[in-house]
Structure 1
Amino acid sequence: MNAERPTLLRCAGRTVARYTTRPPLALDHAPRPYLHPVTTLSGRVVTETVPEDHPHHLGAGVAVPDVAGHNFWGGRTFVRGRGSVELDNHGVQRHDGFKLCDPDGFVEELTWWAAGERLLREHRTVAATALTDTAWALDLTFSLVNVSGRDLSIGSPATNGRPGAAYGGFFWRAPKEAAAPVVFGAREDGEEAVHGARCDWVALAGDGWTLVFAGATETTRRDPWFVRAVEYPGVGSSLAHDGRLPVPAGETFVRRVVTVVADGRLDRSGAAALVRKAVAS
């Protein structure tokens, strides 16, 4: 992939995110488009990319560790009976072009390639919407169709034998600070309570910022959340939590996640109010 200038995303008259379509990264990072830096309206950065603890974490985007055995997450692959091992199995999310590219959002076409084979075609929509003077929402929808001509399935380290590691799908890596961020849901408190739950939304509150993630897919049951706070700050969806997700040949699945990006620390009622407004926008 050749590096190119990031696409800017604007909201309320300010640049709030940069979207890199062709990152200049080694293949062990499973090259893929990503958003970074994403900022609050006051300019505080709330994403991280290539951190020392997990150099394959790339801001906010879509990443899956196991598509028919191919790694679109980056780093090591968890293999049942062997643990995390280095494998030559990394895939690439290739940016094919924009169908629409406006200051406040875009519609992108991508192809997921691995071992010279086209596995999935993706239609991705990203939009930025102002909510208040101190908060805006990032609305990301991805639609994946199996174009391989054969049945596929999506897995995770959890479905491959590593309990508690059902990551894969939408993922947001936040910046690591001196103290771990506070985690809470609509009724839950703490990382352990929220991780793996199918709650309506999850909040991550750091030093002067709050992110609130809402599962907003209309046609499927809500995916469980993957949440980390103490080890590193990150929140994502779990496409393959209890078992592999089958994707038959020619079939499509869709996911939508809306993220509230706010200055300051929101409480539960404030987070809930902004989520309702963001999802309805």
Structure 2
Amino acid sequence: MSRVLNDTLVLHCAGRPVGRYEIRPELPVGHAPRPYLHPVTTLGGIAVTECAPADHLHHLGVGVAVPDVEGHNFWGGRTFVRGRGPTALANHGAQRHTGFQLSDPDGFVEELRWLAEGRELLRERRTVAVTELTTSAWALDFTFALTGPLGRAVSFGSPATNGRPGAAYGGFFWRAPKEPTAPEVFTARSEGEDRVHGTRADWLALASSAWTLVFAGATERTRQDPWFVRATEYPGVGSSLAPTVRLRLAPGETLVRRFVTVVADGRLDRAAAATLVRKAVTA
């Protein structure tokens, strides 16, 4: 079992540290406290995540963030209010670590509670694993399972469902580092931020000259969620749990999503990205 020191767990691949998991981060008011992975690096040691950047202080590496769970903000920052726009509200929830079912150098299984105003809205089981793919690429397998309380339904929303077109973010989210040149965005059939954002695709790549990230929905249900993509304003990729209408969980129901991300040194072309992501999903 891996050691957890100072509320931090370090993941290893091919004998090298590739990710640090912050279990109970100390965050300012307005950040929606939650565990996250940062820094995540390539096998060559290049950082491919960013945490609390100046452009979006509430972007925290890799994790799960939802801007609207029953009106509570588990994303951080301002809340988009219909008719008012982005508004600072005292409505932030918190994801609290309750324990590890498993904790090894190459992964963990974690239990969390999603809390707001002193009550539990959701329970989560988070499963994270790393796998070596080649001498220059590895994969991060990230699954979250959210279970609602037995006594009542729970609904998820997004800025899009609350009146902001094109902003359906919520769920898995990966904030990449901002560089002088925006990364390229492409899928198996399309390319460019404008064409890819909001579409459904088996995988999506974010590629700079020094690194490439290839994101894949690893279950049929996960692949039904549209991708949220930013490259020019800032580099980030995530899922859209509630793209057009609110997503409702019946009492006691569990929502499961699984994402596998290839982390590679150098810039991959479309063929190389497709090959590695197939290997990662079936590993």
Q: Normalising TM by the smaller chain, what interval? A: over 0.9
1:98 and 1:63 mapped to 2: Cα distance?
A: 20
Shift of 1:249: 1.2
Q: Which runs of 5+ in 2 are unaligned?
A: none
Give the Cα separation in 1 of the matches to 2:35 and 2:151: 25
Letter in 2 for 1:58: L
Q: Distance in 2 between matches of 1:24 and 1:143?
A: 24
2:125 aligned partner = 123
Residue pair 1:4, 1:20 contacting (<8 A) in 2 also: no
Which residues of 2 match residues 149-228 of structure 1 at below 5 A?
A: 149-219=151-221, 222-228=224-230
Equivalent position of 1:78 in the other structure: 80
Q: Distance in 2 between matches of 1:222 and 1:151?
A: 22
Instruction: Please list the CA deviations of residues 198-246 of structure 1 after superposition, one character each: whole Å capped at 9, or x if unmatched.
Output: 0111100013000000011245652100000000000000001021111
Q: TM-score, normalised to structure 2's length?
A: 0.97
Deviations 1:52-98 (A, max 9, x none): 00000000010000001000000000010110000000000000011
CA distance in 1, matches of 2:165, 2:238: 16
Alpha carbons of structure 1 residues 144 and 213: separation in structure 2 relative to 1, 3 Å: same
Q: Percent identical across equivalent pairs?
A: 71
DSSP 3-state at the match of 2:264:
strand
Paired letter, 2:75: W
**2: distance between equivalents of 1:10 and 1:226?**
28
CA RMSD of aligned residues (A): 1.1
Q: Cα distance 1:91–1:44, how it changes in 2: closer, same or farther (>3 A)?
A: same
> 1:74 and 1:240 mapped to 2: Cα distance?
17
On the 8 A contact 1:184/1:203 being kept in 2, the answer is yes
Number of residue-to-residue matches in the alignment: 279
Q: AA paired with 1:167?
A: Y
Give, in whole Å, the separation in 2 of the partners of 1:4 and 1:63. 23
Contact 1:260 1:274 in 2 (8 A): yes
2:56 counterpart (54, 76, 81): 54
Is the CA contact 1:113–1:119 (under 8 Å) kept in the aligned structure 2? yes
8 Å CA contact 2:200–2:223 kept in 1: the answer is no
Cα distance, 1:148–1:173 mapped onto 2, change above 3 Å: farther
Give the Cα separation in 1 of the matches to 2:173 and 2:112: 17
For 2:43, the equivalent position in structure 1 comes to 41
Match of 1:103 in 2: 105
Q: 1:24-64 deviations in whole A, cap 9, x for unaligned?
A: 00231000000000000000000000000000000001000
